């Protein structure tokens, strides 16, 4: 049995009980040994095979898949996409636990605005939206069903994630003040996703130079509930809290979409589908799988890219084939490097200064995703009904999403709860993620969720844990002072005479969301 598919069976003492139940599981989803092979190998053998193609795409995450789609749309069919894992998609991949599909990473896509036409075109191609009577309509069954989200706060569940049950007037006043600040900044500067769609202004620059926590201090926003909520939002989207991400990132979370709505305030905006999110049991893998399907034999999985070099004739890409245990060479006229920046800098032969600098400036957040199979509905505390997204106040994790929420089954039954935890601002978080045994993670996660669901340990049958050592770039002040690395990349490409090699990855945006990765990949092609 391959070590990355190690399965464990453990006996877990039930919280407050003397009986026990066996819970199976293990670490799955990521071939850590493949990435570590690149890190640890000092020299590689001579390539045993040479392939020739028009374009090589190194990396099969969302950016690489978007690049492959864009090449096909341009009529370029002679290309090869090299992917490290057994399936493409990067953080947008999925698995199954006891026959139930569930995400291994990204689990939703907000309905994109007109600032992301490339993403809108994809959704139209996939039948997720169509124009009816002059207006765009999204397929209802793919929009997240109600109830969408709830928060476990003060011993019970409330609708929505902003703490409101029982909070005092001082807290509500700070909610309203922050809402006014977000609206003021929306009026002063443009906020879009992708962020590169609008120019970088002095307003952006000032926010990008400091942390979100420092900005809140400047504004006198010190309420515990507000701070918790804003910290949660940052950890959820950026992998680290408000003490680490830039103020630009903290404001961008709200200003680039629909602002911040304080309880009881009339925003004056009509609530419609534009506020919704697209969600599937398998998460964004629903999109990734449909991007990968047309590639056929052009998608080469299990490939560890170890060298990329520009030559007089074009480019060379060397990749270790994990199936044959041989090194293979790909020769092409051009290459799209859809790899994380730190990997791109490592595998580029004689990497340019701009790439070295970008890699040195990028900080990554480790992430953990635990897919917990339960064989019966959980006992619930009072308050709001079970939702798609369920968050616990002041919890180390980010809560869980219910994989069967979109199923439309009339009676709830067995399901998978996809639990998320970001470790970007946890001291030595990457080592903690990799060194802590599966059983220790199991106990910690079940104890955490047990505060809201006291019977979860009696109903959990299996827990599969996926670990991402470098899951996403964190938009820290040092990085987001450029609003990501895209301007450095643009300057490099303007100076590059041959145009043989271009870069595309969400790292260049400075933070990891589907719209950024997809747009960068599309533009690179």
Confidence of residue 272 (pLDDT cuts 50, 70, 90): low
Give the tens place of pLDDT for each residue, 251-262: 999 999 889 999
Is-contact 229 253, C-beta < 8 A?
Answer: no
Please tell me the distance from the alpha carbon of residue 195 to that of residue 256, in angstroms, as a whole number.
8
Confidence of residue 15 (pLDDT cuts 50, 70, 90): very low
Per DSSP, the three-state class of 212 is: helix
Please tell me the distance from the alpha carbon of residue 426 to that of residue 368, in angstroms, as a whole number.
12
The reported pLDDT for the residue numbered 427 is 95
Query: Strand 326-337 and strand 415-422: pairing?
Result: unpaired
The reported pLDDT for the residue numbered 1 is 34
The reported pLDDT for the residue numbered 353 is 87
Residue 79 has a CB neighbour count (10 Å cut-off) of 21
Mean pLDDT confidence for 87-109: 96
The reported pLDDT for the residue numbered 234 is 97
Q: Is the pLDDT of residue 167 over 50?
A: yes
Q: Which comes out higher in pLDDT, residue 53 or 491? A: 53
Predicted TM-score of the model (pTM): 0.92
Mean pLDDT confidence for 410-429: 94
Task: Give CATH superfamily name and number for 45-93+284-361+485-524.
Answer: FAD/NAD(P)-binding domain (3.50.50.60)
Report which of 230, 90, 226, 93 is spatially closest to residue 167, judged by C-alpha positions: 226
The reported pLDDT for the residue numbered 18 is 35
- Residue ranges per structural domain of the chain: 45-93+284-361+485-524, 164-265
Confidence of residue 407 (pLDDT cuts 50, 70, 90): confident
Mean pLDDT confidence for 304-326: 95
SS3 content of the chain, % helix, strand, coil (to 5): 35, 25, 40
Is-contact 63 524, C-beta < 8 A?
Answer: yes
The reported pLDDT for the residue numbered 9 is 44
Give the tens place of pLDDT for each residue, 291-311: 999 999 999 999 999 999 999
Q: Is the pLDDT of residue 21 over 60?
A: yes
Mean pLDDT is lowest, of 51-60, 321-330, 352-361, 485-494, for 485-494
Give the tens place of pLDDT for each residue, 139-156: 999 999 999 999 999 999
For 116, 192, 202, the CA distances from 199, given in Å and listed in that order, are: 15, 10, 10
Give the tens place of pLDDT for each residue, 29-84: 998 888 888 888 888 999 999 999 999 999 999 999 999 999 999 999 999 999 99
Average predicted confidence (pLDDT) for the chain: 90
Q: Read off the tokens for 222.
A: 């010190």
Confidence of residue 13 (pLDDT cuts 50, 70, 90): very low
Omega prior to 495 cis, within 30 of 0:
no
Report which of 40, 33, 41 is spatially closest to residue 86, judged by C-alpha positions: 33
Q: Which residues pair with 419 in a beta bridge?
A: 370, 400
The reported pLDDT for the residue numbered 152 is 98
Per DSSP, the three-state class of 14 is: coil
Give the tens place of pLDDT for each residue, 206-244: 999 999 999 999 999 999 999 999 999 999 999 999 999
Share of the chain above pLDDT 90, in %: 78
Give the tens place of pLDDT for each residue, 377-396: 999 888 999 999 999 999 99
- CATH of span 164-265: 1.10.405
- Give the range with max mean pLDDT: 10-14, 405-409, 413-417: 413-417
The reported pLDDT for the residue numbered 6 is 36
Alpha helical stretches, state H, 340-383: 341-347, 353-361
E strands of 98-163, at which residues? 100-103, 108-110, 129-132, 135-138, 149-153, 156-159
The reported pLDDT for the residue numbered 489 is 52
Mean pLDDT confidence for 494-505: 70
The reported pLDDT for the residue numbered 387 is 96
Is-contact 355 404, C-beta < 8 A?
Answer: no
Is-contact 117 93, C-beta < 8 A?
Answer: no
């Amino acid at each position: 049995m391959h070590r990355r598919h190690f399965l464990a069976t453990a006996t877990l003492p039930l919280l407050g009980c003397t009986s026990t139940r066996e819970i199976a599981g293990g670490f799955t989803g990521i071939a850590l040994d493949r990435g570590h092979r690149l890190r640890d190998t000092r020299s590689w053998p001579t390539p045993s095979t040479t392939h020739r193609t028009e374009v090589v795409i190194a990396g099969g995450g969302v950016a690489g898949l978007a690049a492959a789609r864009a090449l096909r749309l341009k009529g370029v069919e002679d290309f090869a996409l090299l992917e490290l894992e057994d399936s493409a998609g990067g953080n947008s991949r999925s698995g199954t636990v006891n026959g139930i599909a569930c995400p291994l990473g990204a689990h939703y896509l907000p309905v994109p605005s007109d600032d992301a036409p490339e993403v809108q075109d994809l959704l139209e191609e996939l039948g997720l939206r169509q124009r009816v009577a002059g207006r765009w309509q999204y397929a209802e069954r793919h929009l997240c069903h109600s109830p969408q989200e709830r928060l476990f706060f003060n011993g019970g569940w409330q609708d929505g994630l902003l703490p409101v049950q029982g909070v005092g007037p001082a807290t509500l006043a700070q909610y309203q003040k922050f809402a006014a600040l977000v609206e003021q900044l929306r009026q002063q500067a443009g906020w879009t996703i992708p962020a590169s769609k609008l120019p970088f202004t002095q307003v952006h620059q000032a926010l990008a130079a400091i942390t979100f926590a420092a900005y809140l201090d400047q504004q006198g926003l010190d309420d515990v509930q507000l701070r918790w909520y804003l910290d949660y939002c940052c950890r959820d989207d950026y992998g680290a809290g408000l003490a680490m991400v830039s103020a630009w990132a903290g404001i961008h979370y709200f200003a680039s979409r629909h602002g911040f709505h304080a309880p009881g305030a009339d925003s004056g905006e009509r609530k419609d589908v534009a506020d919704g999110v697209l969600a599937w049991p398998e998460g964004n893998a629903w999109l990734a799988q449909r991007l990968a399907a047309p590639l056929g034999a052009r998608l080469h999985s299990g490939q560890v890219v170890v060298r990329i070099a520009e030559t007089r004739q074009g480019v060379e890409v060397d990749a270790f084939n994990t199936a044959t245990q041989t090194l293979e060479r790909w020769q092409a006229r051009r290459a799209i490097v859809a790899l994380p920046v730190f990997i791109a800098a490592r595998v580029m032969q004689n990497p340019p200064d701009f790439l070295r600098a970008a890699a040195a400036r990028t900080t990554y957040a480790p992430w953990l995703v635990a897919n917990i199979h339960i064989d019966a509905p959980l006992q619930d505390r009072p308050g709001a009904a079970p939702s798609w997204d369920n968050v616990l106040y002041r919890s180390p994790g980010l809560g869980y999403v219910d994989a069967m929420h979109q199923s439309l089954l009339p009676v709830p039954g067995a399901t998978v709860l996809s639990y998320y935890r970001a470790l970007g601002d946890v001291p030595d978080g990457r080592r903690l993620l990799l060194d802590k045994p599966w059983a220790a993670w199991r106990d910690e996660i079940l104890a955490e969720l047990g505060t809201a669901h006291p019977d979860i340990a009696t109903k959990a049958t299996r827990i599969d844990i996926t670990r991402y050592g470098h899951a996403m770039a964190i938009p820290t002040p040092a990085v987001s002072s450029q609003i990501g690395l895209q301007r450095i990349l643009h300057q490099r490409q303007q100076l590059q005479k041959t145009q043989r090699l271009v870069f595309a990855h969400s790292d260049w945006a400075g933070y990891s969301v589907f719209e950024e990765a997809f747009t960068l990949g599309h533009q690179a092609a």
